[in-house]
A and B are shown apart, each in its own frame.
Chain A
């Protein structure tokens, strides 16, 4: 039988129940933290920077080390001595180590690791590590980072634009000049993540100089990063033995970025002289694990009168965070070949600028580049329809690559393998009930309700070409570095001594059911029941067959991995056929495998049991046919031919297979609250041949829920000082059962001619299509052009418009407030106010200048020691409600103009993070007393900012209120009949 496009019947294509489930359902899953650790394994906790940008002056772990149960502390000095900076795809003199060595560049950046008997003890010790920082100006917004005069995050790099590449295909200038219409839009895509419920886990050991490092981690690949880790650790790849556990609690790209922690824990283990286990906690994960890139795109389209697009111009900025961390800038280049999406557009110009900011480094997040590209492109399609007065479906139909055009070479190099886009659109409209939705929209609008319908059409790439990252280099640089290409997939099928079949694949799944599908595939080829196939997806880099492309990402399983597995099974089958043929008295090509037996074509009654025949070579190799070697183990490395390196003119086929998704979303927006309700969501998928329909639907539902989250509620929020404010799952909100409706799922199959089974990946489609589809629906409902994700209800309400009528008596006498922030965007804490104190200005001023009196004024002050003229060091406990922290603070009085005004500044650091504030205090005689005016600005960073955002403002005011209450008391004010605190709060505009 020939290998290649095998249309085996039977198990593949069956909605088979999963073999993974029994173990998981009875609680016997083996996730990385469930596996026993070697006796003597210690536990690590990471000390992380509370600042977004600062020089790291000194790390003093002596007090931490003195705690019982603490074994070691690893610092930047060790890292510098034992490792090299991580290599990255763009040659830059930027240094990224697994610990900050002289500068911290994002809140949460690891600064030291404490290793102790238990995690709790390690955390106790982390609180006692003394770190000296010298604050630097943070650069948070992309535009600010990209500006000419922006402070450079990496002085050696010079600019915060780590890469600036332009591309040109066809003749876009002429197309724009000739086009009757030019439509332009600028959109942003927020930073977010798919946040698996299981966080990172690393258990590392330095075995010996000869045996190197041994690691168990829920790393998901791509295993090209193994090289990055080994090079950083300065060991040969074979001396970094990386193993993955049997089960992983979700990844969606996110567990690619555990690799710096693998290096970090290897070093921690080395320093401690013992194996070390690190289980990342949720706060760490949200702050510092990874993020999708934030994107700013200006997209221009040259459009004919009928809506046909003749050229596109993308001007894109990607916010990759504080370090260009491998494989970035892959978010740009993963999609590069198919930037024109589902459309036949021959002219394209692109400018990609990679921007460094003081935020968490970016990495793989499901969809990886697709959500960002399609947010711009699919918003553009809607805008074209609106601005030209066309039916959006006509715009789609006129622009789609036509069914006869496949395989279709897109302008930037993608070779779209197969598809029928108009058919998918038609199916979605018909089976999704689009006409009914139109009727609902009409009815709703007649009643004055806000109802909208949006679409998205996306080409879903799968099986990444490992050479795509080199597109970021110029052709000259690529020529020098040598070509990179391909997407190797590896699989092994073997028969054991009892005739049992085992399959090994290089995909490291985290819930996708790969073992089940693998069993189906092998069972089909060998004529067995899938239950008889044992599949192992655990990886051991020292023992298993793998390549740089191994891992589970870019939806490579269905196309590449399953394909390679099929080929390996076929090899084993062909060998068994050769062995069986003489016994069955026929030619090898006449041997059939079915029902657990082998028989000659046409003679099923004379069959040999599979087990006996296949175990034979183990026991009696001498009886094999001449020339046949005894091994019954086939390992296949497969790579799609179509994945060549980028060409001289920067064309690159970035993926091997391209599926298609067409979505329709109908929403109703509540006029009163701005809440978005999805009335119906239709998603039509073409992923080539479906290997297991139940699992395929499962992937679609999961991706849809994540896309919905990105559209409506997920964003990593940063303050203007770079403080991170989404540190809990109550702040970073992901959809629950009450937010995710059931989508209508429709399938069609145009098999890929390029993969062995004709299958394409389908795991990422809705991550790419859903956010923009929902945005389009909301834009349609509100009739707006400018929709920005996430479309939280305050944002939507602002788009609808809110009247904010003045109160009857004019606004309550309130101190002039700070400018209103953008909905949902955080700003620095500011407080302005007035307080009346029953003491004359001089008395108040004297209190401020008297350290003993001042010590009683500052809330929770235990000790105040002079540290210079009008400067003090203080030990201050600050708390509101349940929360309390002890700060090591520095306080300074400056700009002294007695008795009228002064400036009061303070900064403090505690295990909760840091706080800085400065305010002017003005004293004015008022009757017998003083009117004190203050104008205070504070920044709070670190843990309390990450988890307490909702209440920080209020807490700051409470602390200030305490301060001024005390000031009044100290200056000799008598308490009035109304408690002073109440009076002060009233004046601060807080209470009635």
Chain B
């Protein structure tokens, strides 16, 4: 399984990357961590003309808390966030999610922005971004634009990113006092794709339940604090809305079932 032929460009700056994207558009692919793209290339499921390697663009490797969010640059690895000493205080939901994300070796090189840009419906980083109401900043040679997660994720592996754009930064809102979080996932083995993943963010008056692995992208349900029976009914309605499908790993019925059980569990845990 060797990749097809392509031209390789290792960028030293974001500008270089953007110029290449402007020139080649959909014939180019951004290579950040490569943990998804390289597997796709090795299997020859895509044949891009140009690989734009941004993994060594120092200016994009930042992870910093600023303006109420944890801002993560395009070439920052997942490990850089995971091993951040202050993460549990800054974005507790991410600290809860990381142990479920693939494996140590993948997180060491895979990027946060890369996972968000790839938009796998089962992925935990997009899920957490949606759950927290985070933001994605896109940049092209023409300029920058920013949007909320639920506008960015448009479908299975499909986002608002245009061919000449880079996901330059994602921002996970920092913890606000009074919020509580919970995360639960069922996967076949430790580290596998989530069959269903649920994240809950509970504020004083409302609870957000975010579900991944069922619909074609993470979906969020906002609820006021409800008594048990109404909560169960709301979660059930949500489970149906997600339009679960059968696939070789799980049935639709099972997925709905897990949404009910895990959804209940994370809300109870967060709203306690």
Contact = CB atoms under 8 A, between A and B. Distances in A.
Given a CB threshold of 8 Å, the question of whether A touches B is answered with: yes
Interface of A: 118-120, 123-124, 127, 281-283, 672-675, 713, 717, 725-726, 728, 730-731, 733, 735-739, 792-794, 797-798, 802, 804-809, 811-812, 814, 820-827, 879-885, 911-912, 943-944, 947-955, 958, 985, 989-992
15 contacts: A281-B1, A282-B1, A673-B258, A730-B193, A733-B188, A797-B257, A826-B248, A879-B46, A882-B45, A883-B46, A885-B45, A912-B44, A951-B156, A953-B245, A991-B155
A992 B253 CA distance: 20
A821 B40 contact: no
Contacts of B59: none
A951 B251 contact: no
Contacts of B43: 283, 728, 943, 947
B189 A954 contact: no
B155 A739 contact: no
Contact of A958 (B37, B158, B190): B158
B205 interface: no
B157 A882 contact: yes
A119 B2 CA distance: 7
A673 B97 CA distance: 19
Contacts of B158: 880-881, 958
Contacts of A879: 46
Given A730-B192, A804-B257, A944-B45, A953 B157 contact: no
Interface stretch (B7-15, B74-82, B234-242): B234-242
A814 B245 CA distance: 13
A881 B240 contact: no
Contacts of B66: none
B248 A824 contact: yes
A492 B155 CA distance: 66
Contacts of A823: 250-251, 254
A192 to B, nearest CB: 14
B246 A821 contact: yes
A821 B247 CA distance: 9
A792 B188 contact: yes
B119 interface: yes
B29 interface: yes
B19 interface: no
Contact of B186 (A793, A806, A821, A953): A793
A881 B233 contact: no
Contacts of B186: 673, 675, 793
Contact of A882 (B40, B247, B261): B40
Contact of A884 (B1, B46, B193): B46
B3 A120 contact: yes
B5 interface: yes
B201 to A, nearest CB: 19
Contacts of B241: 807, 812, 992
Top 10 nearest A-B pairs (CB, nearest first) are: A881-B157, A738-B190, A120-B2, A794-B254, A807-B240, A954-B156, A672-B261, A949-B248, A802-B257, A883-B45
**Residue with the highest number of chain B CB atoms closer than 10 Å, among A792, A807, A943:** A807
B191 interface: yes
Nearest to A826: B248
Nearest to A814: B243
B256 A804 contact: yes
Nearest to A281: B1
A955 B261 contact: no
Contacts of B171: none
Given A738-B190, A808-B233, A950 B36 contact: no
B2 A990 contact: no
Interface in B256-271: 256-258, 261-262, 265
Contacts of B56: none
Contacts of A943: 43-45
B254 A798 contact: yes
Given A883-B45, A884-B47, A990-B155, A954 B245 contact: yes
Contacts of B243: 812, 814, 989-990
Interface string B41-61: 001111100000000000000
A521 to B, nearest CB: 40
B216 A990 contact: yes
Given A730-B193, A882-B37, A943-B43, A717 B248 contact: yes
Interface residues of B, number: 56
A673 B186 CA distance: 7
Contact of A911 (B3, B36, B44, B239): B44
A407 B46 CA distance: 62
B39 to A, nearest CB: 8
B4 interface: yes
A118 B119 CA distance: 34
Contact of B261 (A673, A808, A951): A673
A820 B252 contact: yes
Contacts of A812: 240-241, 243
B118 A881 contact: yes
A713 B156 contact: no
Contacts of B46: 879, 882-885
B261 A958 contact: no
Contacts of B118: 881-882
A739 B248 contact: no
Contacts of A954: 121, 155-156, 216, 245
Given A881-B157, A882-B29, A950-B193, A725 B258 contact: no
B261 A985 contact: no
Given A794-B249, A990-B155, 16 more contacts: A283-B43, A674-B254, A675-B186, A713-B188, A738-B190, A793-B188, A793-B250, A794-B195, A820-B246, A824-B251, A883-B157, A943-B44, A950-B247, A950-B248, A985-B155, A991-B215
Contacts of A120: 2-3
Contact of B189 (A726, A736, A820, A958): A736
B45 A912 contact: yes
A808 B230 CA distance: 11
A742 B198 CA distance: 31
Nearest to A805: B236
Nearest to A880: B157
B219 interface: yes
A964 to B, nearest CB: 15
A739 B190 contact: yes
Contacts of B122: 950
B248 A802 contact: no
Contacts of B254: 674, 793-794, 797-798, 802, 823
Contacts of A882: 29, 36-37, 40, 45-46, 118, 157
Given A807-B240, A820-B246, A881-B156, A735 B257 contact: no
Contacts of B188: 713, 733, 792-793
A721 B157 CA distance: 26
A947 B1 CA distance: 13
B190 A808 contact: no
Contacts of A127: 4, 44
Contacts of A885: 45-46
B189 A735 contact: yes
A279 B27 CA distance: 31
Interface in B173-203: 186, 188-193, 195
Given A675-B186, A736-B190, A804-B257, A958 B236 contact: no
A397 B115 CA distance: 57
Contacts of B253: 798, 802, 804, 820
Given A673-B258, A820-B253, A283 B1 contact: yes
Contacts of A672: 261-262, 265
A382 B153 CA distance: 51
Contacts of B257: 797, 802, 804
A739 to B, nearest CB: 6
Nearest to B44: A911
A931 to B, nearest CB: 21
B96 to A, nearest CB: 18
A341 B78 CA distance: 53
B5 A124 contact: yes
